[in-house]
Amino acid sequence: MATTIQRGVRRTKTANIRKQRGGMSRPGPSQKLETSEAKKTTRQNTKLESEGAEFLVLGQLLIAGIPAYKAYTNLRGYDIVATWPETNRVARIQVKSRWATTAPHFLIKTVDECDFVVLVRLNRGSPPWDTAKRVLPPQEPEYYVLAAGEAKNLIAQRETGWDKIWWRKDDFEPHRRHWSIVRKFLRMPKEPKAVKAG
């Protein structure tokens, strides 16, 4: 009988200690796995930066003399509309951006609803999850303008189910600030050449 009482006391003490610690027990293997998976799937919220990238592209188009406006309603497949009233033509432009300077790819769903895709590298530095722990200062954004057909040929699908355009700087260099293809699509007059200061 004494032994039974002692065991009961020990169990009661253990329960009280756990209660004082907030009822926490050591995590099992499954709990550890869930925690690590949650960390992997946590993504940085870059909604504001994505909106900013769309306005940056809009500004670049206007500076290039191409009339354009932002599609403020949630239209699937494109974010900006460029137009030239004299030819009654419209260009639908999808903007895809990446916050990190070291971003290896752009996530994209479809290019079937647009005429052009503009890839914007915001170059804001290293992401928090960068395993190399590199400290990269922010740099000026870069713009790469592709026709929808060109972008579609670059899309690759991986095991995650996300469609991606993988970043290769040398391959994309010819598309850098290539706003002239939008002008050509709209059948606009050629942009006047800059006059050198005498």
- pLDDT tens readout for residues 94-150: 999 887 777 778 888 889 999 999 999 887 776 665 555 566 677 899 999 999 999
pLDDT confidence of residue 92: 97
**Phi and psi angles of residue 180, each rounded to the nearest 5 degrees, phi first:** -65, -25
Quick check: is 99 in a domain? yes
Domain presence at residue 94: yes
The answer to whether residue 41 sits within a structural domain is: no
Q: Which residue has the tokens 């497949």?
A: 77
pLDDT in tens, 6-15: 444 455 555 5
* Assigned domain for 15 exists: no
CATH number at residue 79: 3.40.1350.10
Report phi then psi at 143, rounded to 5.
-125, 135
Torsion angle of C-alpha atoms 8, 13, 14, 16, degrees rounded to 10: 120
Q: Is position 82 within any domain?
A: yes
Q: Domain range for residue 115?
A: 47-186
Total domains in the fold of the chain: 1
Domain contains 180: yes
Q: What is the pTM of this model?
A: 0.69
Q: What confidence tens digit (pLDDT) does each residue in 60-86 have?
A: 999 999 999 998 776 778 999 999 999
In a domain, 17, yes or no: no
Residue 114 domain flag: yes
Residue 101: Cβ within 10 Å count = 19
Res. 49: pLDDT tops 70: yes
